[in-house]
Structure 1
Amino acid sequence: METFAIALRDWRTRRRLSQLELALRAGTTQRHVSFMERGRSVPGRGMVVRVAESLELPLRERNGLLLAAGYAPSYPETTLDDPRLRPILDGMQRLLDGHRPYPAIVVDKYGTLVAHNDRFTVLTEGVDADLLRAPCNVLRLALHPRGMAPRIHNLGDWARHILERLTQEIARTPDDRLSELLAELEGYVPAPSLPEDGHLGFAVPVRLSSSLGELRLLTAITTFATAVDVTVSELKLETFLPADDATAAALGAP
C-alpha cells in the first residue's frame, strides 16, 4: 500500500488540491484521504476509482493507480488493429473525409499518425520521405529541418505553440516518452522569442508555403470525451481550418 500512498499524494500535489478539496470531490472525508496518503487506510476498489476520477487522471494513469493499490486495471487498452475498434476508426475516417477540402489527421498520445484525409499532402509537400514512413510522428514532421519547418514562415510562433502544449501535457501527466520527444523537438527550433507582429490574437495560425501559395491555417483538436478504452481516449482528431479567405479559396472551398 505504500506505493499507492505515494502515488496518491504525488497526484494530489500535482493537481494542486488540498486533502479537503480532494475529499469533497471524491465523496469522502479529509481524514480518510490523510490516512490513505500515509498508508494507514486500505481503500476499496471503488474508492480508488473515485479518487482517480476526482483527480481527473487520464485512463492510463487511472489504471496505474489501481495497480498501485493492488487491483487489476478497470480500463481496457485495445490495439488499433483490433476489429473491435473498427467502428471507431471508420467513424474517424468519415470525419476526416468530411473535412475536405481542408487537411485533417488523427494522432495518438505521442503524435504518431493514425489516419489522415487526402489533403494531408498539402502539409507534407517536399518533406523527407523518411519522416513519412510509419510510424510517422507529426510533431517531428512539423519541426524537423527536413520536414515542414523550412516552409513555415512563422516557425518561431508555431514551434512555441507545439512545445508549450507538449510541456503543459507533461506537467499535468508526466511521461518519460513525451519528455524525450520534447527534448528532441526543442533541438530543432530556434531559441524562444516574442510572438511575431500581426499574428491573430485568439489563435496562432501556421503560415505555410505550398504549391497553392502561402496558406494560413488554424488547428482544432477533438477527443473522445466519454471514452472508456485507453487507446481511444488518447486519440486526437486535429483539423486544419483556413485563417483567411485566400487560404480557403486556394484549398478549393466552395
Structure 2
Amino acid sequence: MSIVPSGPAAVPSTVAGAGVGPLLRGWREQRRVSQLELALRADSSARHISFIETGRSRPSEEMVLRLSEHLDVPVRERNALLLAAGYAPRYAETPFGDPSMEALREGMERLLQGYEPYPALVVDARYDVLAANRGIAMLLEGVPDRLLVPPLNAMRLTLHPEGLAPRIRNLRAWRDHLLAQMDRQIALRRSEPLRALYEEVAAFPVPDRDVAPDDEPLVPSAHFALPLRIEHEGRVLSFFSSISTFNTPMDVTVAELAIETFLPADPATGKYLHSLHA
C-alpha cells in the first residue's frame, strides 16, 4: 500500500465578503427547508431566522454552528459561514501528510492492509487517491504510467478511455452510478474543483450500450446492488462497493476523507483474489 500527497486544498465556494444571512438562506433553500421548519429544528423562531437571513440580526457563533448542523452544511463551508458572520473559523484544516495525522494514517494503513486481498482505497473530496492497498494495485495493472502520476484521481482512472474503462464490462451502468455520486457531492459541497472533474470525466467516450456474452448477464438477478464487473487477465471479476466516512469530524481534511472498499460479488471472484494473495 502507498500514501500519496493530494493537490492543493479546494477553495471554499462561499464568496468572501458576502453576508452570513444570504449564505444561510442559500443553504436553507438548497436543502428545501422552510424558515419555520429550520427554526423548530434549531430551537429558535421563524422571525429570528428571517431577521438573520435579511441581515437585521447578527447570529451568535453558537447559532451559526447550530443552523449549519441542521442544514447539513459541510465542515469546510461552516468555517466560511463563521467568517462571514465575523467569527474565527472553528475547524482546522490539517494537511493529510502532517505529523499530527500520523495516527490517522497508520490506522488507515492497517485497515487497508487488513482488507486484502480485496481492493480498498482512501480518497479526498476531489476523489484524489491518498492511500490504496495491493487489491487496487492489481486492478490498475496495465494502466499507462502517465495516468498513474500522483495525485491519482479515482474517477479519472476509472472512466478514462486508457484507464480502467475498456476493461469494465458494464461501463455505461457503472459510469452512470459514478456520475450520479459526483452530482450528489457537488450539490452537497458546492465544489468548483469537483464540478470541473465531473465535466472532464463526463466528456470521456462511452459505448452505446454494455455488451456481454449471452451466458454472462451484466446484472445477475441475485444481485442486490450494482456490481462493478471488470476484466483481469482474462477473467471477469465482480465487486460490490461501499463508502465509509468519519463520524462528527472536527477537521476539514478528515471530514472530506472517504474509504471505499470492494467486496467480491460472487464466490469465483473471492476465490481468485485469495489465490493471488496466497
How far off its partner does 1:226 sit?
2.2
Task: Give 3-state SS (helix, strand or coil) of 1:214's partner.
Answer: strand
Q: CA–CA distance in 1 between the matches of 2:266 and 2:142?
A: 24
Q: Matched residues in 2 for 1:119 and 1:154: separation?
A: 20
Of residues 68, 71, 93, the one that matches 1:52 is 68
Equivalent of residue 226 in structure 2, options 204, 207, 210: 204
Aligned-partner residue type, residue 83 of structure 1: P
CA RMSD of aligned residues (A): 2.0
Paired residue total: 254
| Residue aligning to 1:244 | 266
Taking the aligned partners of 2:227 and 2:158, their CA distance within structure 1 comes to 13
The normalised TM-score by structure 1 is: 0.94
Residue from 200, 213, 223 that aligns with 2:235: 213
Indicate conservation of the 8 Å contact 1:156/1:189, yes or no: no
CA shift for structure 1 position 192: 8.2
The 3 A distance-change label for structure 1 pair 182 and 93 is: same
TM normalised by structure 2 equals: 0.87
CA distance in structure 2 between the partners assigned to 1:32 and 1:191 by the alignment: 54
- Structure 1 residue runs of 5 or longer lacking an equivalent are none
User: CA deviation digits over 1:64-84, x for unaligned, max 9?
Assistant: 111111111100000012111
Aligned to 2:42: 26
Quickly say closer, same or farther: Cα 1:47–1:152, change in 2 above 3 A. same
Q: Tell me the residue number matched to 2:246.
A: 224
Report the equivalent of 1:37.
53
Q: Which runs of 4+ in 1 moved over 4 A?
A: 191-194
Instruction: Give unmatched runs, 5+ long, in structure 2.
Output: 1-16
1:122-179 alpha-carbon deviations (Å, 9 max, x no partner): 2102111111111110110000011000111110011011000001111222111111
Q: 1:115 aligned to 125, 131, 138, which one?
A: 131
2:39–2:46 Cα contact (<8 Å) kept: yes
Contact in 1 for aligned 2:74/2:188 (Cα 8 Å): no
Further displaced range: 1-10 or 242-251: 1-10
- Cα distance in 2 for partners of 1:177, 1:59 equals 17
Cα distance change of structure 1 residues 134 and 79 upon mapping to structure 2, 3 Å threshold: same
Check whether the contact 1:4–1:65 (CA below 8 A) recurs between aligned residues.
Answer: yes
Q: How far did 1:58 drift?
A: 1.2
Counterparts of 1:1-254 in structure 2 under 5 Å?
A: 3-190=19-206, 198-199=218-219, 202-211=224-233, 213-252=235-274
**Does the Cα contact within 8 Å between 2:159 and 2:201 map onto a contact in 1?**
yes
- Rounded to whole Å, the distance in 1 between the matches of 2:44 and 2:206 is 49
Change (3 A) 1:20 1:11: same
Distance in 2, matches of 1:246 and 1:2, equals 56
SS in 2 for 1:209: strand
